[in-house]
Amino acid sequence: MANTPLDKRSAAPADRIAAQLAFLTEACKLKSVLRATTLCDGSRRENSGEHSWHIALYALVLGDQAQADVNIDRVIRMLLIHDLVEIDAGDMPVHGTHDAAAQAQIEQIAARRIFGLLPPDQAQDFRALWDEFEAAETPDAIFAKSIDRVQPVIANLETGGGTWPAYGVTAAQLETRVGAKVARGAPALWSALKHRIDAWFAARASSLE
């Protein structure tokens, strides 16, 4: 009887399984990386593991906002692994003042180490997917980047502005750092969000007068 893909997986050498489990154990550390964004109920800061799951769900639910040539399955795969480098590099808030070039270099080193824990074929595939996401040039990566920016906006809106006041975020800054990326991959989604964002900034301006 010819082997099926399942047969091949079942017969995987012990060292391959050991490498896969080592990677998965390492990935658990992402649950300890805290982000600036809180949960939507404002009870605590979310961690990067929670963020990765949530935006993968966002992509699944909001996949109808993507362009016709976007493969949502690949987008979800990107989003599940895109923040693994934060195990070593930490999370840098989009509205922070960190050195983006220096952070990118740290993340490249982290990607080499973390994906390198996998068997060579998976290490190559995962790293290529991560590189594609970072470059944001393919339709899949452009939509993935859009979704990655949407979820923190929702969390901030649901918590009365969340961390925006603490970071001194302006409407113009939000448009540049977030809106442009969301609109590039999901223009209708950004248009819908912008109504809520504009209303929040208008209400905040009134309260400060």
Domain of residue 154, CATH code: 1.10.3210.10
Task: For the chain, count helices (H), then strands (E).
Answer: 12, 2
Rounded to 5 degrees, φ, ψ at 37 are -70, 145
pLDDT at 6 over 80: no
Q: Please tell me the pTM assigned to this model.
A: 0.89
Q: What is the pLDDT of residue 3?
A: 45
Q: What is the pLDDT of residue 208?
A: 79
Q: Within a domain: residue 1?
A: no
- Average pLDDT for 57-74: 97
Termini Cα distance of the chain = 78
Average pLDDT of the chain to the nearest whole number: 92
Q: How many domains, the chain?
A: 1
Q: Within a domain: residue 8?
A: no
Q: Within a domain: residue 79?
A: yes
pLDDT at 9 over 60: no
- Average pLDDT for 103-118: 96
Q: Say if residues 178 and 162 touch (Cβ distance below 8 Å).
A: no
Q: Within a domain: residue 90?
A: yes
Q: Within a domain: residue 7?
A: no
Q: Within a domain: residue 76?
A: yes
- Cα separation of 135 and 99, whole Å? 18
What residues make up the domain containing 191? 15-208
